[in-house]
């Protein structure tokens, strides 16, 4: 069982990782942080008690738990098993908790590498977005051996509202794929609904007020419709990151020999936004795409 006196090595202080590492520090864990941009570590230390690391390898052998929150497969693989990968330096029984959204195969490969040195790799992607991370209200879908799940549950408790053991390593990532498939469809449906209301001359806020009370309601509808109506797209998960996730979903679907027509279509819509250099906007920018397409402004 992990105690708050144990040492946590936290890698990745992005929009999600920054507050997550902060919750661990506030809970009393001994937290060391690393980020490729050193200024983020410095900023973190202004708000939380801990240690900033000059490299991800520094003092890694002294940590009981390593937590990753990075962007993609390549980042996680390089950090864990690259030329200066940390797995080779870990102490026996160290638990690696990877909150990154990656392919299931990456998770399996990293679990095998960790097992070779007597350690455990856990794929534990999260849902809840930046606000969920700030509020300590994330949902975790976990793939790991049953004997380490309780340890993962205890360690992540400071920023978690729900955590479910989905099965062996890789199961967490496959569950996150389901999450992203559903979210992509919901955002496009919301964008189309708002666009229809707008073009039909309706008061879009009144429309949202009433439909939010019925079957059309969703987290996306409740939390994003006001910023979408206002044309504000700097809130939450970026198009570039969602597009990366949808590519993972579609690749896994191809491996399973199944079709995901809506996911494929929405991925194409996000590609259009990226082609217009709008990939840093949040995922609700699908409404902007519809508006620009009608006005002839989207290439």
Which residue has 């026996």 as its token pair?
Answer: 92
Q: Please tell us whether the domain made up of 174-295 is placed in CATH 1.10.1040.10.
A: yes
Q: For position 296, what pLDDT does the model report?
A: 79
Top pLDDT among 251 and 294 is at 251
Q: How distant, in Å, are the alpha carbons of 7, 150, 251 from that of 38?
A: 21, 33, 34
Per-residue pLDDT tens for 157-202?
Answer: 999 999 999 999 999 999 999 999 999 999 999 999 999 999 999 9
Q: For position 1, what pLDDT does the model report?
A: 39
- Which residue, among 98, 88, 107, 41, has the nearest Cα to 65 in the 3D structure? 98
Per-residue pLDDT tens for 145-154?
Answer: 999 999 999 9
User: Looking at the predicted structure, is the pLDDT value of residue 267 above 70?
Assistant: yes
Q: Mapping DSSP to helix (H, G, I), strand (E, B) and coil, where does residue 32 land? A: strand
99-122 b/e (C-beta count within 10 Å ≥ 16 → b) = bbbbbbebbbbbbebbeeeebbbb
Q: In this structure, are residues 100 and 70 in contact, taking their beta carbons and an 8 Å threshold? A: yes
Q: In this structure, are residues 60 and 9 in contact, taking their beta carbons and an 8 Å threshold? A: yes
Domain pair 7-168 / 174-295, same fold: no
The mean pLDDT value for 9-24 works out to: 96
Catalytic residue among 176, 226, 292, 294: 176
176 assigned to active site: yes
Mention every residue, 6+ apart, whose C-beta is less than 8 A from residue 174.
104, 143, 166, 252
Q: In this structure, are residues 91 and 9 in contact, taking their beta carbons and an 8 Å threshold? A: no
CATH topology (fold) of 7-168: Rossmann fold (3.40.50)
Calpha distance 88→86 (Å, rounded): 5
User: Looking at the predicted structure, is the pLDDT value of residue 116 above 70?
Assistant: yes
Calpha distance 146→93 (Å, rounded): 14
Q: Which of the four pLDDT bands, split at 50, 70 and 90, describes residue 299?
A: low
Per-residue pLDDT tens for 202-223?
Answer: 999 999 999 999 999 999 999 9
- Which residue, among 202, 203, 195, has the nearest Cα to 228 in the 3D structure? 195
Per-residue pLDDT tens for 48-95?
Answer: 999 999 999 999 999 999 999 998 899 999 999 999 899 999 999 999
Q: In this structure, are residues 122 and 97 in contact, taking their beta carbons and an 8 Å threshold? A: yes
Calpha distance 25→233 (Å, rounded): 31
User: Looking at the predicted structure, is the pLDDT value of residue 287 above 70?
Assistant: yes
* Residues facing 51 on adjacent strands: 32
> How is the chain split into domains, by residue range?
7-168, 174-295
- Write out the E strands in 65-113: 65-68, 95-98
Top pLDDT among 294 and 126 is at 126
């Amino acid at each position: 069982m992990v105690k708050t006196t144990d040492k946590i090595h936290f890698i990745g202080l992005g929009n999600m990782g920054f507050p997550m590492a902060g919750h661990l520090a506030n809970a009393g864990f001994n937290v060391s942080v690393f980020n490729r941009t050193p200024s983020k570590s410095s900023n973190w230390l202004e708000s939380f008690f801990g240690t900033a690391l000059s490299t991800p390898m520094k003092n890694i052998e002294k940590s009981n738990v390593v937590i990753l929150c990075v962007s993609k497969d390549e980042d996680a693989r390089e950090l864990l098993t690259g030329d200066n990968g940390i797995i080779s330096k870990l102490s026996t029984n160290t638990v690696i908790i990877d909150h990154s959204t990656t392919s299931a195969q990456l998770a399996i490969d990293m679990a095998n590498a960790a097992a070779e040195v007597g350690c455990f790799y856990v794929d534990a992607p999260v849902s809840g977005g930046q606000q969920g991370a700030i509020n300590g209200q994330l949902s975790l879908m976990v793939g790991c051996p049953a004997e380490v799940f309780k340890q993962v549950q205890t360690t992540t408790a400071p920023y978690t509202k729900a955590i479910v053991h989905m099965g062996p390593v890789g199961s967490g990532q496959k569950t996150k794929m389901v999450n992203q498939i559903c979210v992509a469809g919901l955002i496009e449906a919301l964008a189309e609904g708002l666009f229809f209301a707008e073009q039909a001359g309706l008061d879009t806020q009144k429309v949202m007020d009433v439909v939010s009370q019925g079957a059309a309601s969703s987290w996306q509808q409740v939390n994003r419709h006001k910023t979408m109506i206002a044309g504000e797209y700097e809130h939450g998960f970026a198009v570039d990151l969602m597009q990366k996730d949808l590519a993972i979903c579609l690749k896994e679907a191809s491996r399973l020999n199944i079709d995901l027509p809506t996911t494929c279509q929405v991925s194409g819509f996000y590609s259009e936004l990226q082609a217009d250099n709008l990939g840093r906007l949040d995922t609700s920018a699908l409404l902007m795409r519809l508006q620009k397409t009608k006005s002839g402004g989207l290439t």
